[in-house]
Structure formats: C-alpha cells, structure tokens
Amino acid sequence: MATSTQRNSDQAAATEAHGSPKPCPNCHETRSRAIYSVDSIPAHSVLLMPTQDAATKYPRGDMRLSFCEACGFLANSAFDVTLNEYSPDYEETQHFSARFNRFADELVADLVERFGMRNKRVLEIGCGKAEFLRRLCEAGDNFGIGVDPSIRPERFSAEARSKMQFVSELYSEEHSDLKADVILCRHTLEHIQPTREFLDVVRRSIGDRRDVQVCFELPDVRIVLEETRFWDVYYEHCSYFSAGSLARLFREASFDVVDLWRAYDDQYLLLVAEPTERPTQAALPIEDDLAEMSALASAFETHSQKQIAHWRDTIGTFHREGRKPVLWGAGSKCVAFLTTAGLEHEVEVVVDINPYKAGKFLPATGHPVISPEQLKGYEPGVVVVMNSIYLDEVQKQLDQLGIDAEVVGT
Ligand SMILES: [Zn+2]
C-alpha cells in the first residue's frame, strides 16, 4: 500500500505566496489564503476497485485548501477536473443505512408538505442512484428526471421507472431543454469547482420563469473546520461551503434564498431558492458568517496537523496492542482518514453495509472491504465509526452479530 505525505500549512502558504493567487471560483475575487495541504491523495474515494493492484495504482492529486476572505468559500486550488471519473462503478449510495433513510424520508416529507413539491416535474442534477428522487416522486406524486452518469436504472422496479426518466450524463448547458418545476441538486455542488459558472447554467435553464423552486443540499464546512475533521477534506470535494458562502453564490446568480438550514447533526446544508430578475441581498441571519468562517479557517490551519498525528498514534496503538482496529464505513471519509494519516497495515480491513461494496478495494490504500457478517470471523477489538451519526446503528449491528468490540467515534 502506498502512502501520501503531508506538508505543513506553513510550507503550503509559502508556495501559495510565490505563485500568483487564483481567483476564487465562487466570487472571482483574488483574496484567498492557503490553510491546509496534503500531497498525493486518490482522485476518487467512493469509486471502489475490483482488485488491490488496480486500487493502489489509482490516479492521485494534491489538496491545497484555500479560504476566500471575500466570500468565505473554500476550494482545492490544485484541483484537476481531468482526474474525475464518474461512472456506474461510482458507489455513493447511503440508502442501506436506517439512520440515513430516516433523514431522507423526513426531508422528502418536508419538501412535499412545507414547500408544496407535489404533482411537479422534478429534475435532479447529479441524482446518483436516484433513490432520493424515487422517494420524492412516490411521496408527492411527482415525475422525476434524473441526470447522472452513475445512474443504475436496473435497480428500480418497472413501476418506479414509469415515474422517472434518466439521462446518464454529466449535467451541462446541453440539458437546459429538460424543463422542470423543481430543480434538485444534492451532494453535487461540492464536486464542481467553477461553482459560479455552474449556477449560471442552472439559472439560464430557468429563463424567465418565476415559478421554479431550486433545492440544493451539500456538506456544511463549518463543522468540518470547527471539529478539525480532516477526513472530510478529500479530492472529490473540490468546493466547500458554509451557509453564508452558499447564500452569497445564489444571490449573486439571481436567486432569492427562501430558506436555508442545517440538518443531519449539522453536517448538511439545505437551501431552497427561487429565480429572480437580478441579484438579491442577504436577508437571513444564518448568512452572516464571514467573520466566523475566517476565524474557523485559521483554527483549522492551526489544529489540523495535531489532529492527524492524534489519529495516526491512536490507530497505531490499537494495532500494536493487537486489538485489530477496523474502520466502519468504506466511503470518502475512510479513504481520506487512511491516506491523510498515512495508515496502512495498522488497519487490515474496512467494513460497509452496502452489499455492492463488499469484495472490492479502497482506491489508493487497497484495503479490502468486507460486509458486517464477514466481520464476525475477523474478531476485531476496536471498531472506529467514520461518521459518529451512525454510532448507535453500528453498536446495534455489532450486538446482533455477537461481536464484542469497543466502538469509537471520530
Ligand atoms: Zn470568494
């Protein structure tokens, strides 16, 4: 297994100082400062590999996280879009978790009841496996149009497919003829770097209509910075938003932000907006976060290397004590955790409840992914849960399997 090397942020800042600063992809100002840097991390982290050899040879890129003082946006200034590879092998779905499904059902009910998304044409940009779109179509008697290269229509029943249409491509200006009453975009904007250009494409597709609702959901970077969650900073996510930077982007692109709130233990941001003729002014208290975000970016810069060292030592100690630590959740957080902390043999396997992941290998590190049932024979002493929101769910599953291990949250 290969490792990545970390450079401290002083070096990153020095490098940035010698080059000319890039304009912010969100607001086009050149007032960004480097706060965090990791070399040679896998370009994708949820694209699972069929063999260990293919996994360790997976393309890599660098992370140079910079904070824009003008709009509060964070971006990987070293991001190279040509390393992207979104295909049906991209296994991002979280819908095998009861906890996640409860959240999805509550959000669907909210969108149908509170925002009246009923009997509408719903276009979802970056719909993934379209599981959420299917739920929204069923609950609100909507018709769904899902656009995503990783779509797998064969996973749906004929009845579900009768309420949906799929376009197996990356969304672009060419899809502006796909007219809809609701434009949904969940966990996609953070994978796009020219965020302003992308939102302009969405706005142009709406044209003169005013009765269109736009709903975006994405990770909130605030908690990532606040709790120094370095495992939430990885190559696939080239763009990082707070409530304020997200609202500023929408307002500049001629939308009114109708509502903006946090969900999923403050991990996600949800925004509902409507098109306007011209840019709009900030109106919600949650948008006023620029000074707070600047302070949090500095705190992350100060604490990140200490946090990385803490986890490297903790997992290393578990391993040396013969406690066979395993990570639970073979997603992006897990790949970032292992590659950033430089962990290899200290962890032998990672576990995931998504049956499509078992038998595959993590990109870059080559760790094999096993199912919870397979974990029984492995007899781990410690299970590190990559997202603490699943702690109860994981403990329950371990109890059912009769696995007596210490459960640790990140
Ligand atoms: Zn900016």
Per-residue pLDDT reduced to its tens digit, 131-143: 999 999 999 999 9
Q: How far is the CA of 251 from the centre of ligand 1 (A)?
A: 13
| CA 273–ligand 1 middle distance (angstroms) | 20
User: What's the CA-to-centroid distance between 198 and ligand 1, angstroms?
Assistant: 15
CA of 236 to the centre of ligand 1 (A): 20
Confirm whether 98-283 and 309-409 share one CATH topology: yes
Q: List, for residues 34-61, the tens digit of each pLDDT value.
A: 999 999 999 987 777 889 998 899 899 9
- CA–centroid distance, residue 337 to ligand 1 (Å): 27
The pLDDT of residue 234 is above 70? yes
> How far does residue 66's CA lie from ligand 1's centre (Å)?
10
Rounded distance between C-alpha atoms, residue 69 and residue 382, angstroms: 41
Please state the rounded mean pLDDT for residues 75-98. 78
pTM for this prediction: 0.90
Q: How far is the CA of 249 from the centre of ligand 1 (A)?
A: 9
- Tell me what the mean pLDDT of segment 306-328 comes to: 98
**Residue 18 pLDDT more than 50?**
no
Does the pLDDT at position 14 exceed 50? no
Q: Supply the CATH classification number for the domain 98-283.
A: 3.40.50.150
Report how far ligand 1's centroid is from the alpha carbon of 234 (Å): 20
Residue 8: per-residue pLDDT = 37
Q: What is the band of 199 on the pLDDT scale with cuts at 50, 70, 90?
A: very high
- How many angstroms separate the alpha carbon of residue 351 from the centre of ligand 1? 38
Tell me, in angstroms, the distance from the centre of ligand 1 to residue 245's CA. Answer: 8
CATH class name, domain 309-409: alpha beta
Task: Render pLDDT for 273-304 as a digit per residue (tens, 0 to 9).
Answer: 999 999 999 999 999 999 999 999 999 999 99
CA of 28 to the centre of ligand 1 (A): 6
For residue 302, the CA-to-ligand 1 centroid distance in Å is: 22
340-356 tens-digit pLDDT: 999 999 999 999 998 88
CA 73 / ligand 1 centre spacing (Å): 5
Output 129 or 244, whichever has higher pLDDT: 244
pLDDT score for 267: 95
Q: Where are the domains of the chain?
A: 98-283, 309-409
Mean pLDDT for the stretch of residues 167-185: 96
